[in-house]
Amino acid sequence: MIMDLILVFLVSFLLLIFSTLQGYFIAYPLLISMGFLVMVLIRRGFSFEALMTMAATGGKKSFSVISILILIGAVIATWLAAGTVPALIYYGMKWIHPQLFILSAFLLTSVVSLLIGTSFGTVGTIGLALMIAAQETAVNPHWIAGAIIAGAYFGDRCSPMSSSANLITILTQTQLYSNIQNMFKTGLIPLIMSCFIYGIASLFNPVEAQGTQIPGWIQAEFQISSLVLLPALMILGLAIFRVEVKISMVISLLTAAVIGMTIQHYSGWDILNFILGGFYLAETAPLHSIIQGGGMLSMLKISLVVVISTALAGIFTGTNILNQVEVLLDQAQSERHLFSGTIVIGTVAAAFGCTQTIAILLTQQLVQKKYATFPLTPAQLAVDLENTVVVISPLIPWNIAGFIPAAILTTDFRFIPYAVYLYLLPLMSWREKQRISVHDLR
C-alpha cells in the first residue's frame, strides 16, 4: 500500500525539480502534487471533504505569516525609494578593502541582510554590485558568490524582518526576539570561523584596487546622507526594545515614505505605487537592474506558496502519512542524536521541497512531536530549525533558496563549497549540542 505514496512523492519531487530548473512558478507543481496526493488518499478511504478540512486547518497557519510578508514587501519598496538601500550599497562599496574583498563581501552582505531581512533582496542589490565590481579581476568568482550568499543567509536567518524567522516563530509559537537572541548565541562561533576562513581566502585572492562606477551612479540617482539610513536603524533600535515587529515595520515604512518624498522628491502618488507594485528606476538608468524590487504584489506569489505548503502540512498531519519518518526519530536517545535526525530530515525536506518554506514546514511537522516528548522547549525547536533547514536549503543545488541567488550572481552550484557559514553553522551546532542547556534557550 505504501508504494502509491512513494510514487506520488517521487512524481512531486521530479515536478518540483523540473519547475525550479525551468523557472516555472513553484505553486503549479505544488498544486499538482496536492491533487495526486488527494486522489491517493481518497482511494485509501479518506473523504474529499475531510481532506479539504485538513488542508484548510493547515492553511490557516499561514495567515499571520502572509501579513508579515506583505508588510515586508511594502517596507523594502519604501526603503528603496527613500535611498536607504542605495545608501547601504554606496557606503558599503566605499568601505570595502580590495585586499580583503572576499571577507568584506561576506561582512557587508551579512550587515545588509540583517537590516533588510531578505536573502534575495540582499543578493539582488549589494550582492550583484559586488559581483559587478569584481568581474574584471582574476579572483575565483565562486569564492565571492559563496561569501555573498552565505552573508545573505546570515540575515535571512536572524533578522526581525526575515520571513523564515517569522514563519518559524509562528509555527513553534515562540517569541521572535528571544529566537533571534538564541540564534546569535549559537551562530557566533560559526560567524567568527567564517570570517577567519574568508580572511585567509582574501589574502590568497586579493582584488586589484580599481574604481567602480556604482557609487557614482547611486549619487546621480539619489540624495545620499546618513539621514536616509534612519528607516533601517529604526528597525534595529526598536528590536532592541522588543517592539512588536509589525509595529516596527509600519513605523519604518512611514519614516521611509516621508524621506522618499522630502529628500528624494518622489510624490505621494509615486510612493503609493512603489508600495503596491515595487520600486523601479527608468530603464535607461545604469542601476535599473540593481536598485529595484519590493512591493506588496511581489509577495503574493510567496504568500501563495506558503498557503499551499501549510495546506499540504495540514493533510500530512490529519492523515498521519508521515508517521513512518517520525518512527525513525524514536531511536534518538540524546539531544545530540535528535539534532542529527533534524539535520537529516531538514536536508531531505530541502531536497524534496525545492523551497526553503516547504523545507521548514516539513521538518517542523516531522520533528515537533519528538522535541515535545524529549522534552525540549519550543524555543529549542525554533533555534534548531534555524540552525539546520534554513541554512541547508541554499546548499541544495535545485532548491530555489540557492538556485535563484546563484542565477542573480551569474554563477552556478559551484558556489556551494565556498558558502562556509552555511555548513559551519549546523556542524558547529551539532558539535556543541551536548553543552547547550535547555535552560539557556528559554
pLDDT in tens, 168-206: 999 999 999 999 999 999 999 999 999 999 999 998 887
What average pLDDT does range 341-348 have in this prediction? 90
Note the Cα 80 to chain centre separation in Å: 19
Pick the closest to residue 384 from 402, 400, 366, 399 (CA basis).
Answer: 366
Query: What span, in angstroms and rounded, lies between the C-alpha atoms of 168 and 174?
Result: 8
Q: What is the largest CA-CA distance in the chain?
A: 68
Of the ranges 93-97, 296-300, 354-358, 377-381, which is most confident? 377-381
The grid cell for 134 is: 569584481
Please report which confidence band the pLDDT of residue 337 belongs to, taking 50, 70 and 90 as the band edges: confident
Query: What span, in angstroms and rounded, lies between the C-alpha atoms of 235 and 116?
Result: 9
- Of 56-65, 99-108, 269-278, the one with minimum mean pLDDT is 56-65
Q: Is 252 strand, coil or helix?
A: helix
- Of 81-95, 102-116, 133-147, 324-338, the one with minimum mean pLDDT is 324-338
The grid cell for 53 is: 478540512
Of the CA atoms within 13 Å of residue 279, those in its CB half-sphere come to 30
Pick the closest to residue 93 from 145, 48, 134 (CA basis).
Answer: 134
Which residue type is seen at 148?
I
Please report which confidence band the pLDDT of residue 211 belongs to, taking 50, 70 and 90 as the band edges: low
DSSP 280: -
Q: What is the mean pLDDT of the chain?
A: 87
pTM of this prediction?
0.85
Q: Looking up cell 534554513, which residue turns up?
A: 390
Who contacts 32 (Cβ-Cβ below 8 Å, separation ≥6)? 12, 15
Query: What span, in angstroms and rounded, lies between the C-alpha atoms of 154 and 426?
Result: 13
DSSP 97: -
For residue 395, with 0-12 CB atoms within 10 Å meaning exposed, 13-18 middle and 19 or more buried, which class applies?
Answer: buried
